[in-house]
Copies of this chain bind each other. A is one copy, B any other.
Amino acid sequence: MPSHKFDRFDRKLLEALQTDGRVPNTDLAEGIGLSPSPCSRRVRLLEESGVIKGYSAILDQEKVGLGLTVFVDIKVERHQEKEAEAFCEAVSVLPEVVMAHLVSGESDFLLQVVVPDLRAYKEFLTNTLLKLPGVRDIRSNFAIQTVKPQSPLPLIHLPG
Residues of A within 8 A of B (CB): 1-4, 6, 14, 17-22, 49-67, 69, 71, 88, 91-92, 95-107, 109-110, 114-117, 120, 139-158
Q: Count copies of this chain in the complex.
A: 2
* CB of A66, distance to nearest CB on chain B (Å): 6
Contact of A57 among B17, B61, B67 (CB under 8 A): B17
* CB of A59, distance to nearest CB on chain B (Å): 6
Query: Which partner residue on chain B sits nearest A141 by CB separation?
Result: B105
Known contacts A22-B21, A61-B153, A141-B104; A91/B148 CB under 8 A:
yes
Whole-angstrom CA separation of A149 from B53 in the bound complex: 11
The binding surface of chain A is classed by DSSP as mixed
Residue with the highest number of chain B CB atoms closer than 10 Å, among A99, A117, A146, A152 = A99
Residue with the highest number of chain B CB atoms closer than 10 Å, among A53, A69, A107, A109 = A53
Whole-angstrom CA separation of A146 from B53 in the bound complex: 15
Known contacts A59-B14, A65-B1, A101-B69; A150/B147 CB under 8 A:
no
Whole-angstrom CA separation of A14 from B63 in the bound complex: 12
Establish whether residues B63 and A57, one from each chain, have CB atoms under 8 Å apart when the complex forms. Answer: no
Establish whether residues B64 and A53, one from each chain, have CB atoms under 8 Å apart when the complex forms. Answer: no
